[in-house]
Structure 1
Amino acid sequence: MSVTFQPPSKSFTARDYQFIALVSFLVVAVSIALVIANLTLKDGGDFYVHWVSVRIFQNDRLDPYSGEVPARVQQLVYGGPAAAGDEPYILDTPFHILLLYFPIALLPDPLLARAIFTLILELALFALAIISLRLTDWEMPIPFYILFPLIAIFNFYTFQAIYEASPVLLLGLIYAEILVALRAEMDEIAGAFIAVSFYHWEVGAPFLVLIALRMYYEKRTRVFAGFFMASLILLVVSFMAYPNWLVPFFRATINNIKVDFGFNVHSIFTRIWPTFGGTFAWLFIGLLVVALGYEWSAARSGDFRRFYWAACLSLAAAPLLGFRTEMENLAVLIIPLALIFAIVHDRWYKIGNFLTILLMLLVLTLPWALYLFAVPRFGIIAEEGLFLFLPLFTFIGLYWIRWWAIRPPRILSDLASRL
């Protein structure tokens, strides 16, 4: 006589349903509260430039890259035409990426649309902080699970991204998901993520170049298959909706470059050293390119830890390579900051807690102090210092922890050598 063992079935109890209902209620309540709070935000031009362009295309059948878009966005943000030094808000997003904004553009009220999109960004920011921690494999004390997301959410640069409703927070989440997918060998998914991150070159171009080099060297053709499949679908739909978008897109991109709005090392160095600033800037960028080239060469065939460190270095280097960029774009540096804090905590074990908290507080408080006290007094010079702080801090920090990041402790004597 054979006996078949059935695994015990677990049924939900009344307490389980009550817990699910409570969590659902809290999520809905927090979301509604955030949307109401977001309605009070006054800026949001980075969102409006996409929302207006899609609305113009959908409702008025006008070219989304025409001058009508900046005019309407400036009216929403400034209440009239942009003044000297204001951002003109020229759309330079490829149309096949712009398709992703079509659902939110169905909302006719710009304030409500911005508030809901900002809620999406806030959720993406929280997810970015958690995923950045997961990438480090940091077995941290419980307080750091709370402290790091708070640093990520309330630092000056992510506040700027939220205030501008910048898609850079979604890009940061996509970059982190690309690294997670590559580590898990979910290559097609990684390729699809890369396809929808193919804009805002000033933020992620070095990061994406490194990934392409690594995938080509490893012959991971499924990543390229996922990228081309997702890109092909988006491109086919985009050309069906607007067959002639390429020329207006390139023209708008060139016009946006000519506007010269934002920060770059050329203008910063020239302001500091009027005579030799341009030469110093090219020398600085040249040394940075050589360093990146060396690290990319090593990372294309190294283990994942080395590749992950080099990917973080690429994100930190992007604002320093001479591309004109904006303050809110620095929010993606949450990814390398998590790695820096994790290695500092684990390597300097005896004082790790104190040193990590000290660095976190520096990242949180110094930019706010510069913004609140130095920028009103010293103007553009302090603002440029505020821009340079985070990428320089991150770049130097990554080289500081480089040895331990790419060579984790392997023997007992390594572990015993912790200070």
Structure 2
Amino acid sequence: MNRRHLLAGAAALPLAAIHPSAGHAQSGISDGVVKIGVLDDMSGVFADQQGMGDVVSARMAVEDFGGRVNGMPIELVYGDLQNRPDVGLSIARRWYDQERVDAIFGLGNSAVALAVQNLSREKQKIDVVVAAGTTDLTGKDCSPFGVHWTYDNYALARGTVGAVMNGGGRKWYFITSDYAFGHSLEANAAAVIRSLGGEVAGNARAPLGETDYSSHLVRAAQSGANVVGIAAAGTDFINIVKQMGEFGLTRRGIQPAALLCLLTNVKAIGLDTAQGMVFTEAYYWDQNDRTRAFSERFARLHGRPPTMFQASMWGAVTHYLKAVQAAGTDASAPVMAKMRETPINDFMTNNGTIRADGRVIRDMYLMKAKQPSQARGEWDLLEVAQTIPGNEAFRPLAEGGCPLVR
């Protein structure tokens, strides 16, 4: 069996042996085990920023919790969604129906996240979206069992677009990944641009995993735009920024706007190209003593500091396990009630809350890539330019269209 098949098959991690006993009925834990799944891109364009780093972080959370909750063992499984809704949905359905998984985390592709959230609503199972960005998750497709944990496309667009436009970037051309995430990110960014008096000159849609963006960049240059809004992520984002430099757009004063950028992306691009680029994040490893301490632990296991997705996976799993402990059961409804009523406090979140639409409200940060001369080490790449309070960063509750909101 090759690695892809192993990942797609959701390999179990031996965090705790399962020993069902007569006592598990009294504990309120179904099947004598609390079983959680991490479903992410393990082998594609997002694997570097999610992938096994998310699994490492989830495993850290389970081990920090002691490997058991309410006297029952915690088991962790993981799978590769392959950026295909049919694959992700098939794994999730098997986990729920056959393998008795209680909650799914990660879901680092918006199309897959929407599909799995709809299935989770049907099955009355908890899904915690850590890495997908579409705002439909807390809008028309919201779920009483769904949590959108780390960020969303509204927050990314609001923070980054405002900063770019304040710097003179008034006319935009979008290069957009042609699936739910890219469409949502472009739509959110375009709305902010127009609200601030800017102009959208045009857009190009590119399939996920595209490698040659030359035709799109030629059209962007011909549009008269002075900003290319990159509504893409992972390897796609990296390739667009690099090719903007190769085709001379940046030398002509056309600025890349990083609508979703992470630490590993900046490392791949290099500070010579990325210097001065601004973007919005939920976490940076070098913010304070607590973020540095977690990063050091994570790096010992994974070889480098975590992205915001990988860091926030720890908090998502920990918050869920605390809710199971407080509820005295792994039944979804009482666990979700505890998750909603309990403030979120960990090394990257201060007094976070889960709204009625499933949106976690947390502070976001406008990040700026350093000049090469400022970097003190291999991963000293960014600085926090501004803190964006959570109540300003995310879409107002009444504007999302979530049927759960009255």
TM-score range, shorter chain: under 0.3
Q: So what's the TM-score if we normalise by structure 1? A: 0.27
Which has the larger share of strand? 2
Which has the larger share of helix? 1
